[in-house]
Chains A and B, each alone.
Chain A
């Protein structure tokens, strides 16, 4: 943070002024450095919207087309920038429409503050018009939530909300504010929150644990790192790269870890998990030391736990104590912030390399290339594959674009084949797998990082779950590039039906509208590609267009994503076909 904004904040803490609760909310947002928020107005939040109108030169409100879109935009904003995303909605249906995005942010540790209006406090519990118990409903999917019924509570609660959302393991916070509290006047004074006594954001680093970890690492013969989003959440990319390079350890990533070191880094051995790369999955069950960094052993990563890395010692670098031994028993747990832990680890490491062990990864990659990758990215069949489209987009953007995906086959293909040069480039719904995430998340990402190319890639199914956000893109003139990989199926579900339900394609076939016409209806330039020879030029045109652009690519209808670890199988039982 630059000193200029800091100074402004300290000035603000001194002044008290008599203002309404709703104006106070805006002042809190400004004090927290919020410049944009996503939302949808309605009765119970109208006083705040009235203030947003007055403060429109200082804070930009983006009217999304659905409150779910507002949360996903706030998430996209947060994921690319590391700042807190903010979403705002009215009571009742406005508030309940936020829930999917909140749950998504909770499971993917995304810092977000959601503000909801609530019926006046004297009506609470009376089944008033548009009253829902949003605090009750959101409790299991928020890091923290709170209802405000008096204006005087606003500054402290808002300060706490931002502190909790972004500190430690980040997450979503919901603040519900009754309408009378929005109207009420009080003496406003803002003080940033620096700590909550019952909440230990970052466990204190224990150097004995770091030393124990270093010892295991230095003694290992076949070590392997699996890193997750904790590296980028902790802004520990530099320290992480230094550790990987000094220790010379082959390193794999979870879907949310992508890009923390570039995909092309020689020690980057690819993605683990259900549709991850062959080598790191198989060799998870051959390494003698598994070093998990800022990841949580999700079942999509581990497959069957009873056959996961049983031969290996396990070190877990983690900020959240509840993750230790939750799924995989560790030999050494290093609790703390990734940046600090890795910086402490670095000087204790021996400089090493493992040419023979590393060669095992290369050998298995060669098998994966022959059996899967080659056909995905250099297909010889007539129809276009998702893989070749991805490769085309990725090579034309030189691996610098942020790719925002939806959920399904295209998501796995994007993670598998995109080259990420930069951290925070793979924005996707990992833990919740929320279809409809992509398009609105891309809006937030582009607005937070206007200088980056942001490309939204969706399937024809998920795209239609939040397709109305084209209206937001049009109204706000957000220059995102929108790609739909149209296989006329709910592809990922169809794949499972093919493999595990004898091709009974129950309700996965899609009869689709004219997507190009729809985009054009929103005055967004659009094109559709059906043939390989047109792909390159179409992608170039998309990238070279200044404003938003829509590109539909019709791909093979019944392609499958491989490798695949079937649910409940071991990571080393990867199917290549």
Chain B
């Protein structure tokens, strides 16, 4: 009777601390949970960082992990959301041989139809960037791979939630 696993996006608001990434990733590692993607950036609040982590776990696991994350001294607050609760994007870039751009008209169509964009072109290679959902990125990847991709990188998911996250009020409450 295995509980159902879901894709969850975890947002962790933290102090800007050197060792914290280690602390947070160890929480997943200890439970043998693979991190699908992780992104670290500044947040909407000055001096507060934000990790966006994607994992595939059961709801019960997710709640316990959130508890463990929030327990870390330098974590201000952690939230988890299903895909329905967030607006999310990933981004990817392809490096391809420049000849293809002129020889294979298909490529131009792919770029146009998938709302991708050419970032740079030089004599040897050109670079395509595409942002979107994972499926869109997978699609363009499949289409372009027919022509030979020199290099490919996909970013971690970044997300904002549909609900409000009351970090600022929390921090103000502390100041008071």
Contact = CB atoms under 8 A, between A and B. Distances in A.
B19 A325 contact: no
A198 B22 contact: no
Given A139-B22, A140-B30, A198-B15, A322 B67 contact: yes
A506 interface: no
A139 B19 contact: yes
Interface in A468-523: none
B129 interface: no
Contacts of B15: 197-198
Nearest to A164: B73
Interface string B64-93: 100110110111100000000000000000
Given A139-B19, A198-B14, A322 B73 contact: no
A320 B14 CA distance: 19
Contacts of B23: 139-140
Interface in A127-164: 135-136, 139-140, 143-147, 164
A106 to B, nearest CB: 12
Interface string B125-153: 00000000000000000000000000000
A199 B74 contact: yes
Nearest to B60: A325
Given A196-B73, A198-B14, A140 B26 contact: yes
B112 interface: no
A323 B23 CA distance: 18
B19 A145 contact: yes
Contacts of A139: 19, 22-23, 26
B161 to A, nearest CB: 20
Interface in A324-345: 324-326
A322 B71 contact: yes
Nearest to B15: A198
B63 interface: yes
Contact of B22 (A136, A143, A144, A146): A136
Contact of A143 (B19, B73, B76): B73
A195 B176 CA distance: 12
A531 to B, nearest CB: 50
Contact of A195 (B19, B22, B63, B174): B174
A266 interface: no
B165 interface: no
Contacts of A325: 63-64
B35 interface: no
A197 B76 contact: yes
Contacts of A135: 19
A283 B19 CA distance: 46
Given A139-B22, A140-B26, A326 B171 contact: no
Contacts of B19: 135-136, 139, 145-147
A568 interface: no
A320 B15 CA distance: 20
Nearest to A327: B64
Contacts of A326: 64, 67
Between A135, A140, A146, A199, the greatest number of chain B beta carbons within 10 A of the residue's beta carbon is seen for: A199
B74 A198 contact: yes
Contacts of A195: 174
Interface in A72-116: none
A323 B70 CA distance: 12
B121 to A, nearest CB: 39
Contacts of A198: 14-15, 73-76
B19 to A, nearest CB: 6
Contacts of B68: 322
A195 B175 CA distance: 10
Contacts of A197: 15, 76, 171, 174-175
Contact of B73 (A147, A199, A321, A323): A199
A356 B70 CA distance: 44
B11 to A, nearest CB: 15
Contacts of B22: 136, 139
A140 B53 CA distance: 19
A145 B19 CA distance: 8
Nearest to B175: A197
Contacts of A147: 18-19
Interface in B40-71: 63-64, 67-68, 70-71
A136, A139, A164, A321 — most chain B CB neighbours (10 Å)? A139
A234 to B, nearest CB: 17
Contacts of B63: 325
A135 B19 CA distance: 8
Given A135-B19, A145-B19, A198-B75, A322 B64 contact: yes
Contacts of B74: 144, 196, 198-199
Contacts of B76: 197-198
A324 B63 CA distance: 10
Contacts of B14: 198
Contact of A321 (B18, B26, B70, B171): B70
A103 to B, nearest CB: 13
Nearest to B20: A139
A244 B67 CA distance: 30
Interface in B95-141: none
Nearest to A321: B67
Contacts of A145: 19
Contacts of A199: 73-74
Contacts of B67: 321-324, 326
A321 B23 CA distance: 18
B15 to A, nearest CB: 5
A147 B76 CA distance: 21
29 contacts: A135-B19, A136-B19, A136-B22, A139-B19, A139-B22, A139-B23, A140-B26, A140-B30, A145-B19, A147-B18, A196-B73, A197-B15, A197-B174, A197-B175, A198-B73, A198-B74, A198-B75, A199-B73, A320-B71, A321-B67, A321-B70, A321-B71, A322-B64, A322-B67, A322-B68, A322-B71, A323-B67, A326-B64, A326-B67
4 smallest beta-carbon distances between A and B, as pairs? A322-B67, A197-B174, A198-B76, A144-B73
Interface of A: 135-136, 139-140, 143-147, 164, 195-199, 320-326
Given A320-B71, A322-B64, A326-B67, 12 more contacts: A136-B19, A140-B30, A144-B73, A164-B73, A196-B73, A196-B74, A197-B171, A197-B174, A198-B73, A322-B67, A322-B70, A322-B71
